[in-house]
Amino acid sequence: MGRTSKDKWDVYYRLAKENGWRARSAFKLLQLDEEFNLFQGVKRAVDLCAAPGSWSQVLSQKIWGQSSGQVVAVDLQAMAPLPGMIQIQGDITQLSTAKEIIQHFEGCPADLVVCNGAPDVTGLHDVDEYMQAQLLLAALNIATHVLKLGGCFVAKIFRGRDVTLLYSQLCIFFSSVLCAKPKSSRNSSIEAFAVCQGYDPPEGFIPDLTRPLLDHSYDFNQLEGPARFIVPFVACGDLSAYDSDRSYPLDLEDGSEYKYTPPTQPPIAPPYQEACRLKKNGQLAKELLPKECSINKVDNLPQPLTVPQGHTLLSPKVEDDEMNSSP
């Protein structure tokens, strides 16, 4: 938990310390559960980007304490152990980490996958939103391998201008997708949580661990089956008409010369009209030039500057070097 003065005044920060939670983010998952009943019937769960372990604490109390369930927590950092928790230290965007997670759920898929991870924010919102979207897609890729049909997936999301793209991708795999913001999440933060319920992948979908992130170098034309979707495109207008990316000569094709046609309504009081009048009367330079200008004084000198005989004019850099040199 943070130690700034802002955190000390935060009510959820104080409640987390009083109740023994490792971080104030535990209340976010608890409040999401109050709204969506996330833990109903859940016996096996995965906590991605789990450190420092506040969400794993909630899962351990709700799942292991009641039904002797199992929680697999994954993070780059090591965490203190919890009852009923299996800890994996690794990067969820790496193939080896994803395979190790999947091994714990072979033959018995998970009921719930949560991810409260976020990248180190830079302050550049576009970059932060992109990195968060990549992290969410990596968590979604793991969820498609371990989540049972009808399972639930909860992940942090940054509410940016491209949030609808992520929403449309999540709707492919879940029957219900909502964007929720718990009360414990600060209003000044753009974070929210995508609550995806009813895991139902399209027919014929085969999860692929080789592409955990949205790689722009990937050829999407190689996708097959339900994973392949082509956005409809319609070309409008006469295709043999003028090309908007081409320059055409003014003379017409029939040999006739181009004739200027004035606009139906000329500009009303154009901004350059006064400048044209001043330039025509020779007043433009006089009015724009300041009255007390050093250029005028230099131009009015009776004769140009001369160098005394036997002396040379040195640049400022050479003069400084001479002054600093030893005698």
Q: Name residues whose C-beta falls within 8 Å of residue 48's C-beta, 6 or more positions apart in sequence.
A: 74, 75, 92, 113, 114, 115, 117, 139, 142, 155
- Alpha-carbon torsion, ordered 15, 20, 21, 22, to 10 deg: 120
291 is catalytic: no
Kindly name the residue from 8, 28, 99, 156 that is annotated as catalytic: 156
- Among the listed residues 148, 109, 141, 108, the one whose alpha carbon sits nearest the alpha carbon of residue 209: 141
Q: What distance in Å separates the CA atoms of residue 45 and residue 51, rounded to the nearest whole number?
A: 16
User: Taking a C-beta distance cutoff of 8 angstroms, is the pair 104, 72 a contact?
Assistant: yes
Sign of CA dihedral 208, 72, 152, 105: positive
Cross-sheet strand order for the sheet of 191-199: 85-89, 70-75, 44-48, 110-115, 147-158, 191-199, 174-180
Q: Which two tokens stand for residue 302?
A: 């009776």
Catalytic positions: 156
